[in-house]
Chains A and B, each alone.
Chain A
Amino acid sequence: MSNTIRKLENTLERRDVLKLLGLGTVAAATGSIVSGEALATPDSAAKLISKLSGTSSYKSGKITLKMPEIAENGATVPLTVRVDSPMTASSYVKSIHLAADKNPRSEVASFHLTPASGKAEVSTRMRLAKTQNVIAVAVMSDGSVHRVSRLVKVTIGGCGG
């Protein structure tokens, strides 16, 4: 079968070949990897973050986003957000918002914490369609917003599943 593909590739564009094979087993196997178009932009991610945090002036520092520099598999990239806060009733982190700027959608997750959290740190795993910036902001109980972003390089995208 691979011989046939090679012959076809001489005359046809790669996408035509894939189309021809659309009903075959190759497509069935790879179909789940083909992801949708990347619709989010750095602009839409910034808008989302400012909508979620209710401001567009951010402070830096106090917040760290731990992610691998290079993610081999974009389907599951571990991340940890840590915010430097005493987490007492008078001073705590209200929420942490995450956004990605080149995924199909900018939204990733929002975490709402309370003083009962004890420590402002959350971990999860996210999908990354391609190499992009991940942005995290922390909304503090005094209203200030701290922001951090990190560029993560992705070898295999993961938004198609």
Chain B
Amino acid sequence: MARKPRIKLPKSVNKGQVVQIKTLIPHKMETGQRKNKKGGKIPRFIINKVEAVFNGKPVVTADLHPAISANPYFAFYARIDESGTFKFVWTDDKGGKVTTSKKVTAN
């Protein structure tokens, strides 16, 4: 789970502007339905939560299930009233977390 997520978010916006934020993290999102060559089940291993927090305040969270495709893509909107930092956290089934931050300037 060390691979880098990708975030698309403008560096500077007008105050109060609503912008789309696109996120994608490389992950195979193993469903738990597949079988290996010997017929045993490959255990489920997915990213089950994505959180976006702006200046400490939650903006959006997503609970994901195995029905979400590999390399989960998640796009949403946010209204930006002040300059600050977006923090994104992905959590997997084993409790592993990937965190990344992006700065945004509001003019």
Residues of A within 8 A of B (CB): 23, 27-28, 31-32, 34-36, 75-77, 87, 100, 103-105, 107-127, 158-161
Contacts and interface: CB of A to CB of B under 8 A. Distances in A.
B90 interface: no
B13 to A, nearest CB: 11
Contact of A123 (B36, B67, B75): B75
A120 to B, nearest CB: 8
Interface of B: 18-20, 22, 28, 30-31, 33-37, 54, 57-70, 72-79
A34 B70 contact: no
21 contacts: A35-B33, A75-B69, A109-B63, A109-B64, A113-B76, A114-B57, A115-B79, A116-B79, A118-B78, A119-B18, A120-B77, A121-B76, A124-B68, A124-B69, A124-B72, A124-B74, A124-B75, A127-B66, A127-B68, A159-B31, A160-B34
Given A118-B18, A118-B77, A121-B76, A113 B60 contact: yes
Nearest to A23: B37
B60 A127 contact: no
A125 B68 contact: yes
A28 B66 CA distance: 22
